[in-house]
A and B are shown apart, each in its own frame.
Chain A
Amino acid sequence: MDTSSPAAFVNGDLLRRYIGQKVRAVVQVIRSDIGSVVGKTTDDQQIVVKGSPPPSLTTYLEVIGIAESDNTIRADVWTNFGDNFDAGNYNELCKLANGEFRHMFI
Chain B
Amino acid sequence: MANSVTQDGIATVLSSQSSSSVRPEIVVQVIDLKPVGNRYTFNANDGKKKIKVVLPATLTSDIISGKIQNLGLIRLLDYTANDIPGNSEEKYLLVTKCEVVACALDSEIKDSTGIVLKPKDKFVAKSASQRINEQSGNAAPAARMAMTRRVHPLVSLSPYQGSWTIKVRVTNKGVMKNYKNARGEGCVFYVELTDEEGTQIQATMFNAAAKKFYDTLQMGKVFYISKGSLKLANNQFKTVQNDYEMTLNENSVVEESKNEEMSVPETKFNFVPIDELGAYVNQKDLIDVIGVVQSVSPTMSIRRKSDNEMIPKRDITLADETKKTVVVSLWNDLATGLGQELLDMADKYPIIAIKSLKVGDFQGVSLSTVSRSNVVINPDIPEATKLRSWYDSEGKETSMSAIGSGMSPSANNGSRAMYSDRVCLSHFTTNPSLGTDKPVFFSTRAYISFIKPDQVMWYRACKTCHEKVTEAMYSGYWCENCQKKNEEYSLRYIMAVKVSDSTGEAWFSAFNDEAEKIIGCTADELRKLKSEEGKVNKFQTKLKEATWSEHLFRVSVSQQEYNSEKRQKITVKSVSRIDFAAETRLLLRDISKNKNTSQF
Residues of A within 8 A of B580 (CB): 86
Interface string of A73-100 (1 = CB under 8 A from B): 0000000000000101100100010001
Residues of B within 8 A of A89 (CB): 581, 584-585, 588
Distance, CA A33 to CA B263, complexed state (A): 77
Check if B142 is an interface residue, CB within 8 A of chain A. Answer: no
Which secondary structure dominates where chain B touches chain A?
helix
Distance, CA A92 to CA B584, complexed state (A): 10
Closest to B587 in A: A89
Check if B22 is an interface residue, CB within 8 A of chain A. Answer: no
Residues of A within 8 A of B591 (CB): 96
B400 CB → nearest A CB, Å: 21
Interface string of B562-600 (1 = CB under 8 A from A): 000000000000000000110011001001000100000
Residues of B within 8 A of A88 (CB): 585
Residues of B within 8 A of A86 (CB): 580-581, 584-585
Closest to B583 in A: A89
Contact B581 A92 (CB under 8 A): no
Residues of A within 8 A of B588 (CB): 89, 92
B589 CB → nearest A CB, Å: 10
Contact of A100 among B581, B585, B595 (CB under 8 A): B595
Closest to A90 in B: B584
A89 CB → nearest B CB, Å: 4
Distance, CA A104 to CA B595, complexed state (A): 16
Closest to B595 in A: A100
A88 CB → nearest B CB, Å: 8
Most chain A CB within a 10 A radius of its CB, from B581, B585, B591, B595 = B581
Residues of A within 8 A of B584 (CB): 86, 89
A35 CB → nearest B CB, Å: 33
Closest to B582 in A: A86
Distance, CA A100 to CA B599, complexed state (A): 12
Distance, CA A100 to CA B584, complexed state (A): 18
Distance, CA A59 to CA B386, complexed state (A): 44
Residues of B within 8 A of A100 (CB): 595
A58 CB → nearest B CB, Å: 16
Residues of A within 8 A of B581 (CB): 86, 89
Distance, CA A86 to CA B580, complexed state (A): 9
Closest to B580 in A: A86
Distance, CA A92 to CA B591, complexed state (A): 11
Closest to A100 in B: B595
Closest to B579 in A: A86
Residues of B within 8 A of A92 (CB): 588
Distance, CA A100 to CA B595, complexed state (A): 9
Closest to A95 in B: B588
A73 CB → nearest B CB, Å: 24
8 additional A-B residue pairs with CB within 8 Å, beyond A89-B584, A89-B588, A100-B595 = A86-B580, A86-B581, A86-B584, A86-B585, A89-B581, A89-B585, A92-B588, A96-B591
Chain A residues in contact with chain B, CB under 8 A? 86, 88-89, 92, 96, 100
Q: Can you pick out 12 interface pairs between chain A and chain B where the beta carbons lie within 8 Å of each other?
A: A86-B580, A86-B581, A86-B584, A86-B585, A88-B585, A89-B581, A89-B584, A89-B585, A89-B588, A92-B588, A96-B591, A100-B595
